[in-house]
Amino acid sequence: MQRLTKLRRHPVRGIRYLFRWAEFHLRPAEPEDKLRKDAEQYWNAPNTELLNQYSHWRGAGVFADEDRWLALGRKNLEFYQQFCRMMGVTRPPRRIIEWGCGGGANAVHFAPLAETYIGVDIASPSLQECKRQLQAAGLNNFEPVLIDAIAPETALTQIEQKCDFFLSTYVFELLPSPEYGLQVLRIARELLTDGGMAIIQLRFIRASWRSQPKRFAYKRHFVGNAYRIDAFWEEAEKCGFQPQAVRLIPYEQINDQTNYAYFFLAT
């Protein structure tokens, strides 16, 4: 009843809501190959301010606010430091891999910790921007890895040495499908040495249909991938991880997003 009242008060918004409801419930899922190709095309389109904003480029869109851009990665670094204390880890990681490094919002905070910082991305301009940001900070330990979005396992042939820490934030929600994300999860385990650590952030599913994964129209629903918390935990165990904790952030003020879950995983 409350929903109907709101729709009557805001008819345009109501029509949009009904369209989205009908599309989600009635439109068939697109093939996995199509979703992957659409994702590759989307993130490799000519650079625009909006695209760069979603790739977390310094100075793009909302990240024209320097403090906001720096806060994005600084918060993730604080989570990593808390994870280390929880695990009793005092030695800095020798090799860090970030899946989906974008414009370097995480890298400028994490790269100083390691001998080698490996940035994986499907867009060459983002890898170049990440390298530029690190060089501007006086760091020359960046190794860019450009992968085929359609076949993420190509990362395994490009990264020969195992890593100590795997990081991926604001990326799993952009992946073409839940199955794709689980493939990346398996790749992460293969890339990590025994005794390694991983932090993976994703969107978690609530009771509402609007938080469910979208399996169609990637260009409109590129922030559309999500998981049940218990299901992702179990999938991580199947891959050989030992999940240690999950941190839920229903609303992230820094980038005005919702339904964040940070998984802290050990190997």
Same domain membership, residue 193 and residue 166:
yes
Same domain membership, residue 118 and residue 202:
yes
What's CA 67's distance to the chain center, in Å?
21
Same domain membership, residue 60 and residue 15:
no
Q: Which domain holds residue 118?
A: 31-266
pTM: 0.92
> Rounded CA gap, 13 and 6, in Å?
9
> Rounded CA gap, 126 and 101, in Å?
8
Q: In what order do the strands lie in the sheet with 242-252?
A: 142-146, 116-121, 95-99, 163-168, 192-203, 257-266, 242-252
- Per-residue pLDDT tens for 43-66? 999 889 989 999 999 999 999 999
pLDDT value, residue 194:
96
Around 27, how many Cα atoms within 13 Å sit in the side-chain half-sphere? Answer: 14
Same domain membership, residue 243 and residue 160:
yes
Same domain membership, residue 84 and residue 68:
yes
What is the gyration radius of the CA atoms in the chain, in angstroms? 19
The whole-chain average pLDDT of the chain stands at 93
pLDDT band with cut points at 50, 70 and 90 for residue 250: very high
CATH number at 244 reads 3.40.50.150
Same domain membership, residue 24 and residue 72:
no
Instruction: Give 23 or 106, the one with higher predicted confidence.
Output: 106
CA angle 99, 104, 106 (to 5 degrees): 70
Same domain membership, residue 210 and residue 166:
yes
Same domain membership, residue 115 and residue 79:
yes
The dihedral of CA 84, 89, 94, 97: what is its sign? negative
